[in-house]
Structure 1
Amino acid sequence: MRWTIPNILTVLRLLAAPGVAVMFLYFNRPIADWFALVLFIAAAITDWFDGYLARAWKQETKLGAMLDPIADKAMVVIALCVIAGLSSFGREVMDPWILLPATVILFREIFVSGMREFLGDVAGTLKVTGLAKWKTTAQMIAIAVLFAKGVFEHHFLALAYGLGPDMVERVLSGQEPDLVGLNTYLTLTNLTWWVGVGLLWIAAILTLLTGWDYFRKALPHLKEPL
C-alpha cells in the first residue's frame, strides 16, 4: 500500500464519518451542530481534492480506489442517520420529509453495495456515471444545509427562551424592535430547512435513477446459464 497524500486525505475523510455522530455525544447543541457542520464540509472538500490530486500527480492506487467510495458512503449514511434522529427530537414521530428520502438513499446504497460484492471483478467494469457524481454532490450539499439548519434553529430557540414567549411574539409581529436578530435566525432556519429538504429529495430521485441504471447494466451478468 502506498501512503500518498490523496490516500491520507481519503483515510481522514473515512475517519471523519463517525466523528460527525460522535460530536453529538460529547457536545451540547448548537455547538455539536457547528462541529458536525464544519467536519462534514471539510470531509466533503477532501472528496474532491483527493481525486483531483491523485490524477494530477499520477498517484492513483488500489487503496484509494477501494477507500474512496467507502468513505463517501460512510459520510452520507452516518450523517443521514444523525439528521433523521435529530428530526424526531421533541416529536412523537420522525419527520417524513427527512425519513422518506433518507430511506431511499440508504436502501440504494445497501442494494448497490451488495450487488457490487456479488459481481466481484465484473463490478469494476460498471463505471461511475456523471449522474452518479451529481447524486453524490446533491447528497453532500443537502446534508450540509440541514446541519446548518440545526445551527440556526438552536440559536433561535436559545434567544426565544431568553426573551420569553410574550416578547418573542411581539418581536416577530413587529411590535417590538428585534435587537438580537430573532427574525434573522427564524428566516435562516426556515430557508435552510426547505432548501435542505428539497435537495435531499432531489438526491433521493437521482439515487433511484442511478441505482436502476446500475441494476440494468448488471443484469446481463446476473442471468442464469441456459
Structure 2
Amino acid sequence: MLTLPNILTLSRIVTVPVLAALLWFPRWPLGYGIGFAVYCLMGITDYFDGYLARAQGAVSKLGIFLDPIADKIMVAAVILVLTAQGVLTGPYVGDMHVIAGLVILLREIAVSGLREFLGGIQVSVPVSKLAKWKTTFQMVSLGALILGGALPGWTATLDGFTFNLPHTVGLTTLWGAAALTLVTGWDYLRVGLKHMD
C-alpha cells in the first residue's frame, strides 16, 4: 500500500540514477554540489520514512521490504560510481581505498542473503547498535567524499602532501565503516550459523 512512508522510500530508489548521473563527472564541482544536496535529502527521507511509519502506526510489509533495499541500492551505486571515477584514491595507499568499499559491498550482499535465508525459517535478526554505528560511518563517509568533489579547493598540506579535507575525512570514515562492517557481518553470520544444519 502506498502510504507516505512508502512513497518516501520509493523516492529514494527512483532518485538513485539521478545521484549516480550527478557523480559521474568528478571534475564537475557543481554536479557534486547538487549531488551532495540530493544525497542529504535521501538521508533525510531515510530517517523520516521509518519515523512516520512508526508514529502513524503505518509499518507495512512493503515498507519493511523496500527500506533496506533502498539503502543498499543507494550505497552500492555511490561506491561503484566513485570507484569508477577514481574518487576512492588518496595519499600513501593510492587506490587501495577501493578495498574498503568492496568490503562494505560484500557484507551487504552476504547479510541480505543471510536475512533471506533466516526469514524463510521464521528467524529475525535485529539490527545491533554497532550496525547502526556502521551505517552512520558509512553515510558520513560517502557524504564527505561527495562534498570533496564539490569543494576541490578546500585543502590542507601535511608532510608535503596537499589533500582535500572532506575527501580525506571520507576515506578515513570509509575504513572505519569497513572495519565495523567486518565485525557486524561476523555477528550476523554467527547468529545465522546457529540455524543451519
Q: TM-score range by the shorter chain?
A: 0.7 to 0.9
TM-score (norm 2): 0.87
Gaps of 5+ in 2: 157-161
Quick check: 2:141–2:174 contact (8 Å CA) kept in 1? Answer: yes
TM-score normalised to structure 1 length: 0.76
Conserved? CA contact 1:85–1:94, under 8 Å: no
Partner of 1:176: none
Structure 1 residue 196 and structure 2 residue 170: aligned? yes
1:89 deviates by: 9.4
CA distance, structure 2, for counterparts of residue 72 and residue 222 of structure 1: 27
Cross-structure match for 1:56:
55
1:119: Cα distance to partner? Answer: 3.2
In structure 1, what is the equivalent of residue 70 of structure 2?
Answer: 71
Larger proportion of helix: 1
Q: What is the Cα deviation at residue 28 of structure 1?
A: 6.9
Q: What's the offset of the Cα at 1:124?
A: 4.8
> Secondary structure of 1:33's match?
helix
Q: In the alignment, what sits opposite 2:193?
A: 219
1:69-148 superposed matches below 5 A: 69-87=68-86, 95-97=95-97, 99-122=98-121, 124-148=123-147
Amino acid at match of 1:54: A
> What RMSD over aligned residues (CA atoms) do the two structures have, in Å?
2.5
Contact 1:84 1:94 in 2 (8 A): no
**Percent of pairs identical after alignment?**
43
Distance of 1:135 and 1:122 partners within structure 2 = 27
In 2, the alpha carbon distance for the partners of 1:112 and 1:37 equals: 27
Q: Give the structure 2 partner of residue 20 of structure 1.
A: 19
Shift of 1:27: 10
**Alignment check: 8 A CA contact 2:82 2:88 kept:** no
Whole-Å separation in 2 of the counterparts to 1:94 and 1:110: 26
Partner of 1:8: 7
Structure 2 counterpart of 1:186: 155
Change (3 A) 1:27 1:141: closer
Summarize the Cα distance change of 1:140–1:57 in structure 2 as closer, same or farther, 3 Å threshold: same
Name stretches of at least 5 consecutive residues in structure 1 with no aligned partner: 157-184
Match of 2:30 in 1: 31
Matched, 1:208 2:182: yes
The answer to whether the 8 A contact 1:34-1:148 is kept is yes
Flag the structure with higher strand content. 2
Count residues with an aligned counterpart.
190
Partner amino acid for 2:44?
I
Whole-angstrom distance in 2 between the partners of 1:202 and 1:56? 32
4+ residue segments displaced more than 3 Å:
24-28
- Residue 190 of structure 1: how far off its partner (Å): 2.2
